[in-house]
Amino acid sequence: MKLSTKGRYGLRAMLDLALNSAEEAVALSSVAERQNISISYLEQLIAKLKKAGLVNSIRGAQGGYVLAKPAKDISVGDILRALEGDLNPVDCAEIMGGESTCSGSDLCVTKYVWKRISDSINNAVDEIMLSELVEESLQLRSEHGILKDTKIETMCDK
């Protein structure tokens, strides 16, 4: 399974908000600059995250965005599903919990493979909380002497 830029950039944006919105709302322009994401694309991602109840907007001169709930209550799975939809590796109705429309489902053995892969992916992303990523980020930045607001190029997202 390969995530699109929506999932990858959205996760980075949520981590940025978690790191920077503890004391005040964060302007999207500052997230865009730190994360090297175009502001228009970031606006699209934030709209989906807001609709999913993961971020809140604050109006006014000191406005911007904040997490809608504590980082310890937001899983990576919550974020990825808000941006990507379901995380199933194949479109198999039985994996997604629906009625099978597949004419060969009674004899299909591969559905068990897809189900196990789907369960593994979903369990993994649901067990990783945003707060864990915050802690890891702060630790890595400390080890490398990097200030909180410093822009970091991430080659894995290119």
pTM: 0.85
Separation between Cα atoms, residue 18 and residue 62, nearest integer Å: 17
Q: Which two tokens stand for residue 141?
A: 């930045």
pLDDT tens for 38-79 read 999 999 999 999 999 999 999 988 889 999 999 999 999 999
Q: Is 26 left (phi over 0), alpha (psi -120 to 50) or beta?
A: beta
Tens of pLDDT, residues 80-138: 999 999 898 887 766 666 665 677 777 788 888 888 999 999 999 999 999 999 999 98
The tokens describing 27, both together, are 């302007």
For the CA atoms of 75, 80, 83, 84, the dihedral, rounded to the nearest 10 degrees, stands at -150
- Write the pLDDT tens digit of every residue in 28-37: 999 999 999 9
CA angle at 84 for the pair 83 and 87, rounded to the nearest 5°: 135
